[in-house]
Amino acid sequence: MKSAVSSSLFFHSKNLLKPNPFSRLESVFLPKPSLRSIAKLPSSSTTSGLRSISSSSMASSFKPEQARVPSALPLPAPPLTKFNIGLCQLSVTADKSRNISHAKKAIEEAASKGAKLVLLPEIWNSPYSNDSFPVYAEEIDAGGDASPSTAMLSEVSKRLKITIIGGSIPERVGDRLYNTCCVFGSDGVLKAKHRKIHLFDIDIPGKITFMESKTLTAGETPTIVDTDVGRIGIGICYDIRFQELAMIYAARGAHLLCYPGAFNMTTGPLHWELLQRARATDNQLYVATCSPARDSGAGYTAWGHSTLIGPFGEVLATTEHEEAIIIAEIDYSILEQRRTSLPLNKQRRGDLYQLVDVQRLNSK
């Protein structure tokens, strides 16, 4: 069984009170060419050659490899280049057994349409409320009857031979509750658990107030996992607002980021698509999200609009707020094309800033 790789992080900016950086410009300037050497080259060759040398010297001075600590890992070769992903935007009710059965049918339908990876919404087995989390919580590690939701995911992933990013459900561990995403491989084995790191505590006067921290405990580690469909970084809803998490995943070689989420009717129209496109564009990888369908009569109303974003920030597939199953193609060969066109990894300013992967650094 492949295990998830977890990591703690912080963002580190180098001391800006260091000596004036312009005092080191002599290391960037080229030696002055002689007139004789210039005369031997056509004018265009001279310009092209000097530009190439200058660019190389500047890149070396900028220390792009030091912008990630430890250094970013190369993008691994994925197990397959192209495959279909299924995003199951589900209605959620107060009937847990119905929610589990409904999710199962949606996964089966997505697989029948060719999906090799299926993503479920945030809190798909329970109403989204602090009152509901303790009632619907499951002991995931115990499995079986103690966690009927994950038992279903395990059975279906093995039977259909697909990878499932199981949205999230309330998890009970002793006297603590977590908002937890489970990843099941095509063998039905639990490959990773991601506990929501950034709890949804907001207060927008006259619009929405919600405090997950009243009942939930924050997770302590980011989660990246190798699967049959590539290396995937996991976040849950509010996690998408923190670019450092996505940057860590990109530096660990993720091909795809998956965010089950339930944005609301206030922040959804403003930020949901914007954040997805930003995470994909900044890190030059795919981003997939999955929301519950909208229920205007529920205590918490989800925005919907489950979406797949490409590595140039393009919207590849999306839906509105009703129940839907989106099937869309992911093509990992595009990742290298985009990174060659915009070589951000070679242009970062490691001489000015660093992103530190604390757990990976400390494990060395």
- Return the active site residues: 122, 196, 237
Phi-psi region of 86 (alpha: psi -120 to 50; beta: other; left: phi over 0): beta
CA angle, corner 278, sides to 277 and 282, nearest 5?
120
Rounded alpha-carbon distances, angstroms, from residue 151 to 169, 186, 200: 12, 14, 27
Which residue reads 């393009």 in tokens? 314
- Please name which of 286, 248, 311, 235 lies closest in space to residue 68, comparing C-alpha atoms: 248
Q: Are 178 and 194 in contact (CB under 8 A)?
A: no
- Paired residues of 308 in beta bridges: 288, 317
What does the block give as tokens for 360? 């990976």
DSSP 8-state code for residue 294: P
Query: How many CB atoms neighbour CB 141 within 10 A?
Result: 13
| Residue 4 dihedral angles phi and psi, to the nearest 5° | -70, 150
Query: How many CB atoms neighbour CB 144 within 10 A?
Result: 10
CA distance 147 to 137: 8
Contacts of 13 (CB under 8 A, 6+ apart): 352, 353, 354
CA distance 129 to 334: 40
What does the block give as tokens for 256? 């795809």
> 6-16 burial string, b = 16+ CB within 10 Å, else e?
bbbbeeeeeee
CA distance 294 to 320: 9
| Residue 304 dihedral angles phi and psi, to the nearest 5° | 80, -145
